Chains A and B, each alone.
Chain A
Amino acid sequence: MDTCRYLLVGDSAVTVEFSREILPETSQKIRALKEQIASARISGVLETVPAYCSLLVHYDPTVIQYGQLVEQLKKLQTGIVGKAFPPSVVMELPVCYDERFGPDLEYVARYHGITREEVISLHSSQDYLVYMLGFIAGFPYLGGMDERLATPRLETPRLCIEGGSVGIAGKQTGIYPVSSPGGWRLIGRTPLKLYDPTQEKIALLDAGCYIHFRPVELEEYRAIQRQVEENRYTCKTWLKEV
């Protein structure tokens, strides 16, 4: 039996909690409910925010009240039980693992007693699930890194890390969407913009999609960077095989 909990978040939001464990299946259910809510166009629902195990639904209580909303959400939620989830999208992110972008690649390799090439190969052979975006605009919380790459953070964080930098922090890998301070071990950089407030779709990624890192040489990195600047680059995507 598929049960979820409806948690009261003040008078203008409700959290639909699917589990208390971080699992790809939970992420699928959250994505499915988010899509159901969007297509049901429940009047009064303002926006929905996916997280690891739950979906936060913001609503206007002058239009729809708590009891009515939960009733509608329960109907939608029952509607997704037992149904096959639509396949997830995989997005290809070119990453240049050159020294100038990945100053800690050497450290990560030495830390695990492997070669730089092996680090790159381990890091770019996985599909990473985007569980949610948060912390700062466009920042993806990723799951699925090979445990052989787990590396502790820097003892002293860097003051400025360029947007697009790809790094490792403990058991996670991630990408800095904009320049910011941070303590991740940097291994490369993508020329793509994960966050662009001037675009209609401000974040490149969505919760529930996967990303795949494709290693590129410096020359290709520069070429893609130019295309991105000129708004000519289209991210390569395909459907995830189940």
Chain B
Amino acid sequence: MGILIQTPGVLTTVQDLGRMGHQACGVSPSGAMDQKSTRLANILVGNRENEGVLEVTLGGTSIVFRRSNVIAICGAPAPAVLDRQPVPFYKALSVQAGQTLSFQYAPQGMRTYIAFAGGLDIPLVMGSRSTHLKSGIGGFHGRKLQQGDYIGFRSPRAYLPHQELRRVEEEHFPRSGETVSIRLLLGPQEDAFTKLGQGTLFESLYEISQNSDRMGYRLIGQPIESKNGSDIITDGIALGSVQIPPSGLPIIMMADRQTTGGYAKIATVITQDISLLAQCPPGVKLRFVQCDVETAQALRIAGRRNIEALIRRFQHMTGSSYWVQVNGKTYFVTLEAGT
């Protein structure tokens, strides 16, 4: 027993942190677009970070629980009700069999993640539960969820120890029309572009087009000038690669990207900014800021430390931990036995 999809919304899929290790065979990693929200939701319900979650695009989804469990919702704040009660995000909460969780349209952000304690009963394909829509692999029969789809729970929990303490700070996400800064590292093929072209990338604003999906973000703005066209001998593609096709308009390669491609890649989005980018809906304007590899890797390491600290906090949680508000700021405090 688990969940029944009552309304699928625009696009709801099962994702984990991706199908790694098969890119040499041409298998796209896919996986959650916003990995930070996915990790947080899983950690809140006591799962491994890489457990399969539902990725709800722009809200509009409703699911019926056929069995009680503990869930956590992170990411785009699509207003949600459990039956009629508003549901808090970024917090573990118990749901009862028979209850319905419904999301409205997300006014900010792009993707909402629901984690279920003990995980969803979705088979592993090449070691992952992620759905890759284009090749029809993984997740729920390789496709987006439809009305009437039923997914079981693997080992549901009615309640987690110290559940009321299982919460984290809410995040804020951009809305259409806002401007967001995204950091880039030049390369691997920045030398295929003129100085003018490289300057254009950092000096103008690019708007995320409606034609963006889990595979790539297409951008609207000033074309980027190449030296002799932007075709290269096909090579490997990484997450966040900024490809420049002959039109000169950038395409940022996201989760469902192909593993190789023949367009020059002028730059790459730093990993720490990918989750933010994944939460930018069409109409958001991007300002690209140049970064260096040492800074990008230091940011990534700091991000990892925060996640690990969070995991430790919940593992070592005892009855003497509290949320305390001081001057409007919320702190998590654990009292330890002293001498």
Contacts and interface: CB of A to CB of B under 8 A. Distances in A.
Interface string B236-278: 1111110000000000000000111000010011111000000
B239 A48 contact: no
B238 A51 contact: no
Interface in A100-155: 132-139, 141
Nearest to B186: A8
Given A8-B293, A11-B300, A49 B236 contact: yes
Contact of B26 (A7, A11, A134): A134
Contacts of B203: none
A22 interface: yes
Contacts of A12: 238-239, 271, 300
A167 to B, nearest CB: 18
A165 interface: no
Contacts of B304: 62
Contact of B293 (A50, A66, A134, A206): A66
A58 B241 CA distance: 13
Interface string A173-209: 0000010000000000000000101000011001100
B233 A22 contact: yes
A46 B271 CA distance: 15
Contact of B27 (A9, A11, A62, A202): A202
Which range holds the interface residue count of chain B?
A: 35 or more
B335 interface: no
A133 B186 contact: no
Interface stretch (B15-23, B75-83, B109-117, B223-231): B15-23
A10 B24 contact: no
Interface in A10-57: 10-13, 15, 17, 20, 22, 34, 46-56
A56 B270 contact: no
B126 A52 contact: no
Contacts of B20: 46-47
B234 interface: yes
Interface in B169-221: 185-189
Nearest to B297: A61
Given A11-B293, A66-B293, A137-B27, A52 B21 contact: no
Interface string A59-93: 00110011000000000000000000000000000
B25 interface: yes
A197 B139 CA distance: 14
A117 to B, nearest CB: 34
A207 B270 CA distance: 29
21 contacts: A7-B187, A10-B270, A11-B272, A12-B271, A13-B268, A15-B235, A22-B233, A49-B260, A50-B236, A51-B236, A53-B233, A54-B236, A55-B236, A133-B24, A134-B26, A136-B135, A137-B27, A139-B26, A202-B22, A202-B25, A207-B24
3 A-B pairs with least C-beta separation = A56-B236, A10-B268, A134-B260
Interface of B: 20-28, 125-126, 135, 137, 185-189, 233-241, 258-260, 265, 268-272, 293-294, 296-297, 300-301, 304
